[in-house]
Every structure is written in C-alpha cells, then in structure tokens.
Amino acid sequence: MAGAKPYPLNAWYAVAWDHEIKRELTARTICDTGIVLYRRTDGQVAALEDACWHRLLPLSLGHLHGDEVVCGYHGLIFNPAGRCTFMPAQETINPSACVRAFPVVERYRLIWVWMGDPALADPDTVPDFHWNSDAPWVGEGGTFYSLQCDYRLVIDNLMDLTHETYVHAGSIGDEAITRNPFEVTHTDRKVTVERWMENIEPPPFWARLLGRPGHVDRWQIIHFEAPCVVAGDVGVALTGTGARQGDRSQGVNGFFLAAITPETGTSCHYFWNFVRNFRTDDAELTRSLNLAHVNQGRGVYDQDHDVLEAQQRAISKNPRQPFYNLNIDAGALWAHRLIDGMCAAEGRTQAGTSSDLAAAE
C-alpha cells in the first residue's frame, strides 16, 4: 500500500513513565495518531483519540471532570470508553458521537498502549522489560521525546555496538569490540546478538565500576523483541573467573534498556535506562549513571541522540535505497525482518525497509 508507515499497529508501545500520567490530560503522538492520556479516579490510565468528534479540536486542550474529558471548544464530554455523554444545547446525543479508546497496560514502570485492533490486545504480550522494575536491578531512566529519527535507526544503533568504539570513545568504546566476532540467533519475534571480548584492558567506564586492576572478560548480549524493545546484557569480570561459563561474581553487570515508540515515520519516543545489580543502595551511583556524564560532559545517550538525528537528516537529503550493509549489520537486519513480517501480517506493505536489503554475507 503506497504511503504505508514503517511500523506495525498490532503491538504494545510505551507512551510514558508511570509517574508522568496524573489527574491531568497528557498528549502524545504514537504511530502518527494523537492520543490523550489521564488517570481515572480509581488510578487506572485511560487513553483516547486526541480529537473531538465534533470539530476535531484536540481533547488534550480541554479538562477533566471526574473520569470524563470535557472538550475545550464546545463542551462535549467523553467517558473513558470514548463515548460522548453530553452535548451542549440538546438532550439527545448522537449515537455516533464517540472517539477511539485505546487498550492500556501499566507494567515495568511504563504505560503501554495498543494502537491496532483492540480485540487482539492481549496484556500477556507486553514486551519483556522486567529489568526496568524488578529486583535486583536498579536504575532511574529517562526519555527522549520526539527524537527526530525513524525508530528503526535506534534499533540499528543498539543492535550493533561496534559504534561504541567511535561514538563513545573514552567511556565505553574499545577497539576490542570491532576485533571480536559475534553470533546472531533469532526466533519469530526475537533476535539475540552475542559478543565476548576476553583478556582485554577494560574501557574507562567499566574500569571505574569494577574498581579493581587487571584485564577483564567483557560481554555484550543484546536481546531484541519485535517491534520495539531492546535489552542489552553488558558487563566485565576479571579474566579467567568464569564469566562466560555463567559465574559473574568477580565482575559488574548491567543492562541497557530501550523501549522505542514510533511517533511518526521519522520521529520516535526513546525510553531508556541503565540498570545494575551491584551497589544497589548507592543513590549517588544511580544518579551519576543516569546522567551518564562519562565523557567530557557529554552523556552516552546524548552522543547517540546527536548521531541518530544527524543520520535522519542525511537520509532525508539523500533518499537512496538500499543502505549498504556489513557483517556487523546482521542483528539489525534480522530485527527489521521481524518488524516487516508483523507489518505484512497486517496487510501493510512497507516501502524502504530492510526487507529490500541484501543480508550481509
């Protein structure tokens, strides 16, 4: 279908941190659709189409009255199911007067909304993001709202960590990443990229967290769940202490987490966190890792932000397809294939996605 967007609709997408949605109206754009979020009096979150049935004014410009939304233009009132319950100057309410209500799940410290067929919205299919909320993992997290790039570029960035050597030099970057092989495995909904770097000098960020001298074995095990979640199991342990065999007791372990939500075809919301399972009571360490000012005052996430937006600007100026691919792109290519498969299952043919790209040999 011409003009189709590069994302599936039958999926759960993160739209906000749980603490952000209160007894007030909050607007978001998800998958090119405006929605308005708020907490009902019972604490549950409601999500409605952000356009009044009458004259399409965004409902987010109105106000709450109990559990209902009052349009700020002519006062039409909509309940959490999207049904109009009041029209000005008339007693009879047009039976077609409603706005779309979206299924919502609150889980893993995030609010997730289903943008597709509500009959398919199974809460059990919310992507696994348990590291963001469950012990022993600790981290604060943050968001880049309206990051100006296609959400798939963020996935590409996280599925291929060779970029750390260059984008994050002086913190987590290390040439050992580019020298060592990796393995890619996949199922119908998940992709895993695994790389081990053994007997290396730890990069500054990990040396600081380890707090002990000596060479280390470093691991990067990246898990992607289609269409929008990446969880990277990363860390270092003193060389030869059994980390690769499963004993990480002589090291430090963290997860970088990303829930990436399409806003439009060329922008997204990027919910990120870095969690750890050591020194979990150290509030100052949590704060410093969240700021991630580990390289001359520029945080790791700030550096990725700059690169991703610059890449999108370049794509807009040079709309050639396909991209050229290297061996290091194998994980990202599989992630794209899974996304394309979800779109195809909805009968939506995607233009300009990696389904048209040749896999790296």
> Given a cut of 50, is residue 38 above it in pLDDT?
yes
Do 148 and 120 have their domain in common? Answer: no
Helix (H) or strand (E) holding 343: helix 330-345
pLDDT in tens, 288-340: 888 753 334 456 777 888 999 999 999 988 877 668 888 988 999 999 999 99
pTM of structure: 0.91
pLDDT at 98: 98
Do 43 and 153 have their domain in common? Answer: no
- Note down the domain range covering 88: 14-124
d(CA 288, CA 284): 6
pLDDT in tens, 133-184: 999 999 999 999 999 999 999 999 999 888 776 676 777 777 878 888 999 9
Do 95 and 142 have their domain in common? Answer: no
The CATH number assigned to the domain holding 294 equals 3.90.380.10
Least confident of 30-44, 148-162, 345-359: 345-359
Give the DSSP per-residue string, 284-306: HHHHHHHHT--BTTB-HHHHHHH
pLDDT in tens, 217-276: 999 999 999 999 999 999 999 999 999 999 999 999 999 999 999 999 999 999 999 999
pLDDT at 359: 36
Do 83 and 184 have their domain in common? Answer: no
In this structure, is residue 8 part of a structural domain?
Answer: no
Does residue 71 contact residue 62 with C-beta atoms inside 8 Å? yes
pLDDT band for 209, please (50, 70, 90 cuts): very high
In this structure, is residue 7 part of a structural domain?
Answer: no
Least confident of 61-65, 217-221, 250-254, 345-349: 345-349
Do 283 and 261 have their domain in common? Answer: yes
pLDDT at 1: 36
In this structure, is residue 9 part of a structural domain?
Answer: no
Do 89 and 153 have their domain in common? Answer: no
What is the tally of structural domains in the chain? 2
> Given a cut of 70, is residue 112 above it in pLDDT?
yes
Among 104, 124, 144, the domain-final residue is 124
pLDDT at 348: 67
* The token pair that represents 253 in the structure block: 């372990």
**What is the chain's mean pLDDT, rounded?**
91
Among 124, 150, 176, the domain-final residue is 124
Do 116 and 146 have their domain in common? Answer: no
Among 97, 124, 151, the domain-final residue is 124
**R_g of the chain computed on alpha carbons:** 22
Do 112 and 145 have their domain in common? Answer: no
